[in-house]
């Protein structure tokens, strides 16, 4: 049976006898012992680092794999449809800042407050879901004065899901009176459980990473 315990950065010993390799430990980091493989696995929100028996010494590093992260991007439905057709997403009016935080294999669900930008009919649906398939933003030319930054996505087959059906189920929308405020952030990260509920409502099955 796997043994799992919570650790913090202070739990890692240092000294001349210790390796200089250090994992990205945070307060939510856990160690798992896998007896069959004689490996211990450090996990935090983003990284799984497999090492040999001497976990605190960080000896015998086997592999380091980044964990999938989950995002919501607030985009009108007409812009989503253009993105699905072209296999890309933009965020925050074409800025690259948040797009740089996306990594290959991250998953993005798209929330559309309106049918079109900026004055379409109110919609409040999740309208698309996709997986990041590149490693960095790239710049496109919409016209001579607008060159938005984009990321390449593989969009998954899905059904639109009304936000009203999910408000009571998401930690994201605990404040039912002002739940729409969070979506004004544009592109932002969400927890795995919320993302799974959104994907389920869109009839998409997401495998845990």
> Which of 66, 82, 114 lies at the terminal end of a domain, its last residue?
66
Residue 117 domain-assigned?
A: yes
Residue 178 domain-assigned?
A: yes
The residue range of the domain holding 37 is 3-66
Question: Which tokens sit at 113?
Answer: 């407050």
b/e per residue 61-82 (b: at least 16 CB within 10 A) = eeeeeebbbbbbbbbbbebbee
Number of domains the chain is built from:
2
- Same structural domain for residues 178 and 101? yes
Residue 209 domain-assigned?
A: no
The per-residue pLDDT for range 25-70, each reduced to its tens digit, is: 343 444 444 444 444 444 554 555 544 444 444 444 444 467 999 9
pLDDT at position 185 is 94
Residue 142 domain-assigned?
A: yes
Residue 192 domain-assigned?
A: yes
Instruction: Kindly tell me if the per-residue pLDDT of 73 is higher than 60.
Output: yes
Residue 182 domain-assigned?
A: yes
The per-residue pLDDT for range 103-132, each reduced to its tens digit, is: 999 999 999 999 999 999 999 999 999 999
CATH number of the domain encompassing residue 185: 3.10.590.10
Between CA 37 and CA 163 the distance in angstroms is: 44
176 vs 155, 163, 191, CA distance in Å? 30, 12, 18
Average pLDDT score over the chain: 79
- Same structural domain for residues 41 and 86? no
- Same structural domain for residues 13 and 107? no
Between 31 and 172, name the one with better pLDDT: 172
Among candidates 208, 99, 77, 98, which has minimal Cα distance to 153? 99
Among candidates 88, 89, 101, 80, which has minimal Cα distance to 189? 101
Between CA 106 and CA 76 the distance in angstroms is: 21
Residue 118 domain-assigned?
A: yes
């Amino acid at each position: 049976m796997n043994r799992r315990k919570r650790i913090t950065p202070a739990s890692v010993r240092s000294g001349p006898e210790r390796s200089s390799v250090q994992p990205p430990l945070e307060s939510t980091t856990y160690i798992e012992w896998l007896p069959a493989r004689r490996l211990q696995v450090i996990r935090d929100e983003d990284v799984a680092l497999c090492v040999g028996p001497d976990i605190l010494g960080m000896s015998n590093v086997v592999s380091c794999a980044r964990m999938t992260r989950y995002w919501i991007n607030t985009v009108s439905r007409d812009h989503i449809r253009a993105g699905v057709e072209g296999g890309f997403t933009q965020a925050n009016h074409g800025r690259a800042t948040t797009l740089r935080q996306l990594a290959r294999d991250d998953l993005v669900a798209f929330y559309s407050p309106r049918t079109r930008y900026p004055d379409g009919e109110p919609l409040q649906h999740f309208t698309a879901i996709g997986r990041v398939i590149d490693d960095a933003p790239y710049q496109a030319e919409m016209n001579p004065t607008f060159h938005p930054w984009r990321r390449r996505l593989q969009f998954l087959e899905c059904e639109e899901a009304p936000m009203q059906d999910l408000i009571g189920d998401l930690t994201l929308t605990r404040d039912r009176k002002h739940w729409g405020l969070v979506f004004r952030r544009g592109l932002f990260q969400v927890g795995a459980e919320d993302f799974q509920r959104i994907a389920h409502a869109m009839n998409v099955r997401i495998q845990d990473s």
